[in-house]
Amino acid sequence: MTKLAVLISGRGSNMQSLIDACADDAFPAEVGLVVSNVPGAAGIDRAREAGIPATVIDHTTFDGRQAFEAELDGVLRGAKPDLVCLAGFMRLLTDGFVQRWRDRVINIHPSLLPAFKGIHVHERVLESGARISGCTVHFVRPAMDEGPIIIQAAVPVEPDDDVDTLGDRVLSQEHRIFPLAVRLIAEGRVRVVGERVIIDGAEIPDGALMNPAGP
Ligand code: GAR
């Protein structure tokens, strides 16, 4: 059984998708710990309601990034997770931390990386006129929203979309691909080779998502 630590900063809907997946006996992972860097984040209550220990490590109370990460590292070492899942965790992690946990930290991001890294993603996608957006799960590297890509899902951008409608469409796919990425890793099917991911027995979907739809 693969043990997960889930790091959050907010409402925790992606954390919830992992908790829900793990509730199935056939799912090869369990959530051992939730950590929030934001006191009062809604996700903390959601975790506790599910009976999962949730800890707050408030980054504002530490003297710099290193001190915050030393505490985070200590808490994680205590919980001994096999995999750390960044589920809307809005802090950059430094080189030292990422190297210590190399290929054991994954992140979900609401765009088709490497496009639209950073924040205000849906707003920027709409401004760009892109007709397809999506979400990505990747292994974490020190640079923001960078690292070997494990899985992506694409959705159409609709003509009358606003940030909320597009965000909801992407989020519903986030809730599918995050647990799927965890499953593939827990099944030992995911390897990082030369900063690209190889997935044993990956099923490749037929066809393409076109927007507007083609013949
Ligand atoms: C999600 O859309 C996630 O992809 C995004 O924050 C949201 C958190 O929602 N993460 C990033 O932008 C990381 N760069 P949640 O708290 O409901 O899971």
For residue 109, report the distance from its CA to the centre of ligand 1, in Å: 6
**Which percentage of the chain shows pLDDT scores above 90?**
99
pLDDT at residue 55, rounded to an integer? 97
Q: Residue 185's pLDDT is what? A: 98
CA dihedral 2, 110, 42, 24 (to 10 degrees): -30
Res 214 pLDDT > 90: no
The DSSP secondary structure of 44-107, one letter per residue, reads HHHHHHTT--EEE--GGGSSSHHHHHHHHHHHHHHH--SEEEESS------HHHHHHTTTSEEE
Is residue 137 pLDDT above 90, yes or no? yes
| Among the four given CATH numbers 2.30.110.10, 3.30.70.270, 3.40.50.170, 3.40.50.300, the one describing domain 2-199 | 3.40.50.170
Q: What tens digit of pLDDT does each residue of 170-192 get?
A: 999 999 999 999 999 999 999 99
What's the pLDDT score for residue 84?
98
Q: Which is nearest to 136 in space by CA: 117, 111, 172? A: 111
Residue whose token pair is 């939730």: 34
Ligand 1 atom 9 nearest Cα: 88
What mean pLDDT do residues 112-140 have? 98
Q: Once rounded to an integer, what is the mean pLDDT over residues 53-79? A: 96
Q: Read off the amino acid at residue 6.
A: V
**Residue that is written with structure tokens 């043990």 in the block:** 3
Residue 140 tokens, joined? 């974490």
| pLDDT bucket at 134, cuts 50 / 70 / 90 | very high
Atom number of ligand 1 nearest to Cα 10: 16
How far, in Å, is the centroid of ligand 1 from the Cα of 14?
A: 7
Q: Measure the N-to-C terminal CA separation of the chain; round to a whole number of Å.
A: 45
Catalytic residue list contains 109: yes
Distance 214 CA to ligand 1 centre (A): 31
Kindly give the number of the ligand 1 atom that is closest to the alpha carbon of 8: 16
- CA of residue 67 relative to chain centroid, distance: 24
Nearest alpha carbon, ligand 1 atom 17: 13
Q: How many CA atoms lie within 13 A of 29 on its CB side?
A: 29
List pLDDT tens digits, range 21-62.
Answer: 999 999 999 999 999 999 999 999 999 999 999 999 999 999
Mean pLDDT in the chain? 97
Residue type, 198: I
CA distance readout (Å), 1 to 28, 31, 182: 5, 10, 11
